[in-house]
Amino acid sequence: MLTSTADLRSFVVSQHKLGKKVGFVPTMGALHEGHLSLVEASAKQCDATVVSIFVNPSQFGPNEDFQRYPRTLENDLSLLQKTGYLQAGYMTGGEQDTAVEVFVPSITEMYPAGFDTSIHVGSVSQILEGKSRPLHFQGVATVVLKLFLASQADTAFFGQKDFQQICIVRKMVSDLNVPIEIVMCPIVREPDGLAMSSRNRYLSASERRQAVVLSQSLRLAEMMIVQDNIRDAAAVKRAAEQKIRTAPDAVIEYVSVADSVTLDELQRIESKPVILLAVKFGTTRLIDNLVLSL
């Protein structure tokens, strides 16, 4: 396990010297199958993988869940161990040796005393999640850029569930010429369709049952767009909202039918729309999305 950025850099340099391609999977821990699918994707596409585990304080607002965010390091490591990912020489499909390292920095390692720089990505970070979480993406962009620069990894893997986060990371990487490839991996869902998230554990049994309306509303939107050829974004949005409201405890923050690059709201649905939503159940805020190719 690596804890300093100097050791992280040495690990990646040593892999590069061996001619290996290094993948990076940034996480805040509380690992679940969604994270493991990112590690799996990296293991398939790269020769070595770094998984970072760091609950980043700068992306939590003052009234958000930084203090109670699950910290399950032992469990995370044993999950990676059990799946075999932590053993150097783990075979992907019998073809390739893959070493996986874990990077677990302290807060002072990432933000030493006097740290005073932040990355602000423009308009795409102001809408949707950015409206109710004003400094969230600044914190995400800052820590992600630090991780990219500290590691010098070749490719980074992000889950589609945080779709806006990926748009912001892509924009930052493109605007600042950061030499890293960004790969988006599909959302991993529970059998009933709920997108996997470290925050699902906060849901009460009743909220958990009701939370299935999120993926159901996305499937309804998909049917309207793909099967019924409906192109009126407002009609699709209304139907998705109605579906979510069938859950008595659901409080909708937003449902958006948007362009999948700029995240600008659409009036007429065109080639590659994304439907994004954020819904609160009690104190737990869940997000989900669906990208369509028409």
Burial 63-86 (b: 16+ CB within 10 A, else e): eeeeeebbeeeeebbebbeebebb
Strands 22-27 and 48-53: parallel
Catalytic residue among 16, 32, 35, 120: 35
Cα–Cα distance, 149 to 30 (Å, whole number)? 24
Which CB sits closer to ligand PAF, 100 or 140? 140
120 classed as catalytic:
no
Which CB sits closer to ligand PAF, 136 or 243? 136
**CB within 8 Å of 11: residues ≥ 6 apart:** 2, 48, 50, 101
H/E stretch holding 69 reads none
Token pair, residue 202, equals 């906060």
Query: Under the criterion CB under 6 A, does residue 215 sit at the interface with ligand PAF?
Result: no
Query: Under the criterion CB under 6 A, does residue 195 sit at the interface with ligand PAF?
Result: no
Cα dihedral 226, 232, 235, 240 in deg (nearest 10): 40
Site for ligand PAF in 113-142 (CB under 6 A): 140
Query: Under the criterion CB under 6 A, does residue 288 sit at the interface with ligand PAF?
Result: no
Applying CB under 6 A, the span of 21-29, 61-69, 204-212, 237-245 interacting with ligand PAF comes to 21-29
Taking the complex as a whole, how short is the minimal distance between the CB of residue 125 and ligand PAF, in angstroms? 13
Query: Under the criterion CB under 6 A, does residue 266 sit at the interface with ligand PAF?
Result: no
- Cα distances (Å, whole numbers) of residue 112 to 5, 9, 105, 152: 12, 18, 11, 20
43, 46, 144, 257: which one contacts ligand PAF (CB under 6 A)?
A: 144
Site for ligand PAF in 145-174 (CB under 6 A): 162, 165
2, 20, 24, 27: which one contacts ligand PAF (CB under 6 A)?
A: 27
Cβ–Cβ < 8 Å for 188, 162: no
Query: Under the criterion CB under 6 A, does residue 25 sit at the interface with ligand PAF?
Result: no
Residue 34, SS3? helix
Query: Under the criterion CB under 6 A, does residue 34 sit at the interface with ligand PAF?
Result: no
Query: Under the criterion CB under 6 A, does residue 287 sit at the interface with ligand PAF?
Result: no
Cβ–Cβ < 8 Å for 25, 52: yes
Query: Under the criterion CB under 6 A, does residue 56 sit at the interface with ligand PAF?
Result: yes
**Chain residues that interact with ligand PAF, rule: CB under 6 A:** 26-28, 56, 59, 140, 143-144, 162, 165
Active site residues: 35
